[in-house]
Amino acid sequence: MHEWSLAEGIYQAILEFAKNHDVKKVLEVEIKVGELMQLDLDLMKEAILMLAQGSVMEEAEIKLTVEKAAFSCEKCGHEWNFEVAKKEIEQRVSKDKLIKDDSGSLDLPLHYIPGLVYALATCPKCGSSNILVVRGRDIKIQKITVEK
């Protein structure tokens, strides 16, 4: 249910923006979600819309898109994707480190704290920890379209 707390964060950030810029109506919100976080986009959208009821963003179109994660190795130059990284991370994270939510589902800690990827992933080719998450790590509000 982490999606609900993030939805609240998004809602509050947009409300504050609207207040500071005399916005009459929020028409569209574009949100980029890093693949690493493994968020349920339908649930997030539902949560944002529910929170937005009765506010300036009540009728806003919420566009959530997943940014595919990409990794590269600073030591050997190898590049790989989240599918490859996830397999390794799942092997590395012991069961007692998985976070159990209210519904009973178990999530990788990355779901909450994506920066942990640097502790959990290594280069699949040379094994180095000197890796870079090129993209797809965090969640960000990309664009807001408003009516003043």
Partner 1 sequence: MRTSPSLELAEKKLRDIANIILVGSGKGGVGKTVISSAIALSLARMKFKTGILDADLHGPSLHKILDCRFPAKSGARGIIPCTVHGLKFMSIAFFVDEYTPLPIKGDAKASLVRDLFAQTDWGELDYLVVDLPPGTGDEVLSALTLFSSKGGTVIVSTPSLLAISVVERLINLLEREGVSIIGLIENMAYIYHNSEKLYLFKSSAAEILSKKYGIDLLGTLPLDPGVEEAIIKGGTPLNSKLFAEEFQSIVYKIVEKTS
Q: How far is the CB of 117 from partner 1 (least distance, A)?
A: 7
Of the listed pieces 49-57, 63-71, 78-86, 107-115, which binds partner 1 according to CB under 8 A?
107-115
- Work out which of 22, 53, 54, 100 binds partner 1, going by CB under 8 A: 100
Contacts of 115 (CB under 8 A, 6+ apart): 137
Instruction: Name the DSSP letter for residue 109.
Output: G
- Work out which of 59, 115, 126, 134 binds partner 1, going by CB under 8 A: 115
Greatest Cα-to-Cα distance within the chain, rounded to the nearest angstrom: 54
CB 139 within 8 A of CB 29: no
**β-sheet with 70-73: strand ranges across:** 79-81, 70-73, 131-135
Binding residues for partner 1 (CB under 8 A): 1-2, 4-10, 12-14, 16-17, 20, 92-94, 96-102, 107, 109, 112-120, 129-130, 132-133, 137-142, 144
